[in-house]
Chains A and B, each alone.
Chain A
Amino acid sequence: MTHVQHLKPFLRKTPFHAPMEALMHGNGWIRWMGYYSPAFFDSVSGEYFATRTGCTLYDVSPLIKYSIRGADAAKFMNFLVTRDITKVKPMQAAYTAWCDDDGKMIEEGTIFRLGENDFILNAALHQLHWLHESAYGFDVTIEEISERLCGLALQGPTSRDLLKVMGVGGIETLPHFGIMETTLDGHWMRIDRAGFTGDLGYELWVKPESAHWLWDTLMRLGDPYKIAPIGSQALDMVRIEAGFILVDADYIGAMHAIRPTQRESPIEAGIGWAVGLKKDAYFVGKRALQQEKAKVTSRHILMGIEVEGRKPANGAFLYADKAAKQEIGLTTSGMWSPILKKSIAFARVPPAYAKPGTEIWTEIWYPKEKKIERLMARCTVTSRMFFDPPRKKA
């Protein structure tokens, strides 16, 4: 996974590449959206613990960013996504899904509402075509601005203190999912209080020419706050603990599903809470989702499970019983959580089993001393938010 030697002539470098390269001891580069992106710098577990105990930097510049503006921008966003945008005020962010006609999820991502009719949509995959198609009849301008902004996710319990020392006025009062803009040392910066770790954390967005200033300032001031750069492997661990789903890991995006049945609704993908069926406007896929809800046709719901024992249960079969007579689903992501001291996983279970406290079983196959061993482990269905410290929102 880390071998990108053959891609080197083609991969682009984010504005943070040079300072990251200096710290890259393990040659842990991977490809993300055509950019060099760190999978790890040197120790994955070190990076994981830094995120949970200090604060860490992760380069999120390769994310796809769209600017959506115009007289109908608010109306259009409310039509495009499942969340009720009328409840998102200017300078607030919101996590949402967007669906195809059949209510199957194309992707999920974050919307930043900068003004009444001024939005930024962050996505993991390219969406411009879908946005343009959906915008028919609306007075909006949609632009991809991915290269005009670069960003670092500064996440972890000490992140706020670091920003305070850095001189970001008002950071104490920035609420969860709030957005603010500031200028420091002549550098414009947009800060939102969101992230992919489920902890206290921020995303810092600057213009590419300010990238080195941002990195250097944070690293210079960050030592007392145990700052460290991280790669995607540590990030993957913290996002599972936080319960965040990932496109093509926990669900397949509707636009690149090989079979129509592979597509999933946001309800099935476990983010039914982000579907505003009650909002006072139509959105793409609403009629299909209303049907799914009314007729209870969800095939499964992505829940969390706590697995007995220490073995990670990713991609494992799920059963209703220990005897493995009735198969009920599969796990997607799974891991041993070092901080929770538990084996946790995301589990696709039928709606009848999607209640916290339900006991189910999983079949784990694992290598041991040149043999493959089988284990039936008892699991308890839970919310996917395994790690949810009060400081996240405080």
Chain B
Amino acid sequence: MYDTAIIGAGHNGLVTATYLAKAGQKVIVVEASDRIGGAAVTREFAPGFKVSGVAHILHALHPRVVADLGLRLDRTPIGTSVLLPEGKSIDITADAAATAASIGKVSPADAEAWPRVTARLNKIATALGSFLSRTPPSPAISANDFQTKLALGMFALQLRMLGKKDMLELTRILTMNVADLANDHFESDAIKGLLSLDATLGVYLGPRSPNTVFNLLYRLSSYGKHGMGGLFLPKGGMGAVAKALEDAARRAGVEIRTSAPVDHILLEKEIATGLVLKGGEEIRASNIASSADPQTTLLKLVQPGNLDTEFMKRIRHLRMNGCVAKVHLALDGLPDAWKSRNGRLVVAPKTDYVERAFDCAKYGRVADKPALEIVIPSLTDASLAPPGKHVASILFQYAPYKLRETPPDEARRQVLERTIDTLDVLAPGLRTRVIGSEALTPQDLERDYGLAGGQWHQGEVTLDQMFFLRPAGQYQQYRMPIPGLWLCGAGAHPGGNVSGAAGMNAAREILKATKARKVAA
């Protein structure tokens, strides 16, 4: 008999487990696959070539999680380069003067605007970000405990303290599309293209779709004090982050079982009392916390007939349209253009480029000309590739989960081919250097990592699926309708990225409920 059984040894599952174990609970984590980390993994895709399997840049891991769990992460800060034709680029780094000089070569006006605009966006995003580590309040104010009410009050105060101008700006831009926002402040296609990609990564939206500024702010919220303060490549790949979390969990006394797929959640008298594994084994626990996505948890692991009709419909209709594919390249050396490109490389030369890539996805096709985010982690981390050789990890936007006519194998081939076609123009000779490759479409990601819909964030990060609406109204406080069942993954507030915030918040709510139960008894 355990206090809490957790489904999924992804990063959020491990974070919840560790917090609970540290508070004295007896905790077990069961993981369907044979590895720990979920979508935070390092995998060898070609002999000697290793790469972060899904997420590849660390920026959102919540500082409180890092501190509370005593995580030690070896990591390299990186900048962003927007790749332009003829080997040119705009390089954005922590060095303000160098950044200004780099943007200035394309547009002096944008060089001046960049620090001003990003500072303002970051300020707004940081104010919003204070809620990443809080439990969303219930819209019925009386339904909240003191702690949540206080958090809501502090949040309102924080928004007010932004000052009148910035608060108005926040209300203006919150639901807006990023193309208009970029046009408000910048003139160069390259900067607009960069914002377009940053605002649409991971959502099934184009830069002219409403809600994209929100996704941008969501991303920026982790660049400040509510995240890691910038972009980082973890040494040893994302698997090293999972390893650090695993170690923390084991130190706290968490029991972790891999290759233990859950068949269903055991319900007795309509209360969740345990897990039944595929082999038939039962694991009993007072709390069941699932870090699987809401659809997997509530539509598959909870057997039919235990959840109300309208709630089930809400969960079925969550927008989970994965549209980012992952490409891994094993390179027999780098083309000259890339020999010192150790940061994040972005292929999104202008707004229309990203919008047209989205148009393809809208009609169920793989983007003809994809927007790409590339890192070459082997430049700073020799452990990832044999000497003299390199790996490239690439996000391919857009490759839709729902394909209209393209067969899945054809889509996978297109993703790889179009990535190499695009890159070979920007870094001539790249094609001939490719000695191994792998492309994972959203369908592959669903199969290999259990991400429903191939959605990286367990549900798109849009206003209608965030905050007190994630995963559904009335069920935003990690507690699911079935007593004893909790959601602790990215499908709950505050959503995706390797952040651990959802896991941390869920653990706090589970402990609160446990304490209340004890007081009542």
Contacts and interface: CB of A to CB of B under 8 A. Distances in A.
Contacts, number: 45
A130 B311 CA distance: 13
Given A286-B270, A287-B481, A101 B304 contact: no
Contacts of A282: 270, 305-307
Contact of A130 (B305, B306, B307, B309): B309
Given A136-B316, A286-B270, A101 B305 contact: no
B305 A137 contact: yes
B306 A101 contact: no
Contact of A100 (B299, B307, B310): B310
A284 B308 CA distance: 5
Interface in A127-162: 130, 133-134, 136-138
B270 A284 contact: no
Interface in B262-316: 269-270, 299, 303-313, 316
B473 to A, nearest CB: 11
A170 B101 CA distance: 98
A166 interface: no
Nearest to A137: B304
B309 A138 contact: no
A112 to B, nearest CB: 21
Contacts of A229: none
Interface residues of B, number: 16
B313 A133 contact: yes
Interface in A90-109: 100-101
A177 interface: no
A76 interface: yes
The range of chain A's interface size is 20 to 34
B309 A133 contact: yes
Contacts of B306: 282
A41 B431 CA distance: 88
A137 B313 CA distance: 12
A276 interface: no
- Give the one of A138, A280, A284, A286 with max B CB within 10 A: A284
Nearest to B315: A136
Contacts of A133: 309-310, 312-313
Contacts of A280: 269
A317 interface: no
Contacts of B313: 133, 136
A134 B309 contact: yes
A79 interface: yes
A286 B312 CA distance: 15
Interface in B324-340: none
Most chain A CB atoms below 10 A, which of B304, B312, B316, B481 = B304
Nearest to A75: B305
Nearest to B302: A137
Contacts of B481: 287
A280 B307 CA distance: 15
A138 B308 contact: no
Given A133-B309, A282-B270, A282-B306, 7 more contacts: A75-B304, A101-B309, A133-B310, A133-B312, A136-B299, A137-B312, A287-B270
19 contacts: A72-B304, A75-B304, A79-B304, A79-B305, A100-B309, A100-B310, A101-B309, A101-B311, A133-B312, A136-B313, A137-B303, A137-B305, A137-B312, A284-B308, A284-B309, A286-B270, A287-B270, A287-B308, A287-B481
Interface of B: 269-270, 299, 303-313, 316, 481
